[in-house]
């Protein structure tokens, strides 16, 4: 393991331990399906309203349909496999992505705000997202697909820990 900052009490770089809620797969599947439906509708509309038979659009519609089914089927499970999170007394760890993976560590002393968000579909599935804003040019850390109670507990715990952690979060 690498010790950030070169001190004994530094943040240890390691993979996060906790998975997101299994219901996140359904949430990501619904998001993916809506994207595929919109794309197929746009291409289908173009093929239908074309003044002359356009086989290229029909072929594109079929190819996009097959790829879309693969995307809706594989992507949510892959994301579930990759997405991880963990908090310790000294840092927040996240791993996310499905095509390109992102692994981030935010020391508690750098955290500025902690927010939770729940869209309509997330509310229906009992899920939430937690966003941890830090003094970093890389932007906030987001943990998607947490159970509502876990997210609320995490936000409360992070807020308590960051208030008790010395530093100016800049």
Q: Which residue has the higher pLDDT, 19 or 98?
A: 19
Q: Give the model's pLDDT for residue 155.
A: 95
> Helix or strand or coil: residue 154?
helix
d(CA 145, CA 154): 13
Q: Give the model's pLDDT for residue 32.
A: 96
101 forms beta bridges with 97
Q: Give the model's pLDDT for residue 37.
A: 96
129 in Cβ contact with 118 (< 8 Å): yes
Which sequence spans correspond to the domains of the chain?
A: 26-78, 84-164
CA atoms within 13 A on the CB side of 113: 6
Q: Give the model's pLDDT for residue 97.
A: 86
Taking CA 31 as the corner, what is the angle to CA 25 and CA 37, rounded to the nearest 5 degrees?
Answer: 130
> Helix or strand or coil: residue 49?
helix
The 3-state secondary structure of 28-46, one letter per residue:
HHHHHHHHHHHHHHHHHHH
Residues 6+ apart with CB under 8 A from 84: 15, 16, 17, 18, 19, 20, 93, 94, 95
DSSP-derived letter for residue 62 is: H
Domain 84-164 fold is: PH-domain like (2.30.29)
Instruction: Calculate mean pLDDT across residues 37-42.
Output: 92
pTM exceeding the 0.85 threshold for the entire prediction? no
d(CA 48, CA 127): 39
Q: Specify the range with the lowest mean pLDDT, choosing from 65-69, 107-111, 124-128, 164-168.
A: 164-168
Q: pLDDT tens digits, residue range 139-162?
A: 899 999 999 999 999 999 999 888
Q: Which long-range contacts (CB under 8 A, 24 or more apart) does 41-47 make?
A: none
Q: Give the model's pLDDT for residue 58.
A: 79
């Amino acid at each position: 393991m690498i010790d950030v900052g070169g001190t004994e009490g530094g943040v240890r770089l390691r993979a996060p331990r906790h998975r997101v809620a299994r219901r996140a797969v359904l949430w990501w599947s619904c998001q993916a399906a809506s994207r595929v439906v919109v794309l197929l509708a746009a291409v289908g509309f173009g093929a239908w309203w074309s003044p002359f038979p356009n086989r290229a659009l029909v072929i594109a519609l079929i190819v996009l349909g097959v790829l879309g089914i693969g995307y809706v089927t594989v992507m949510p499970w892959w994301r579930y496999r990759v997405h991880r999170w963990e908090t310790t007394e000294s840092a927040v760890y996240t791993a996310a992505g499905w095509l390109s993976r992102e692994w981030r560590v935010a020391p508690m002393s750098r955290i500025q705000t902690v927010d939770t968000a729940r869209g309509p579909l997330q509310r229906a599935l009992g899920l939430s997202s937690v966003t941890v804003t830090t003094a970093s040019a890389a932007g906030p850390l987001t943990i998607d697909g947490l159970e509502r109670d876990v997210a609320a507990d995490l936000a409360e715990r992070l807020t308590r820990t960051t208030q008790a952690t010395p530093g100016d979060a800049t």
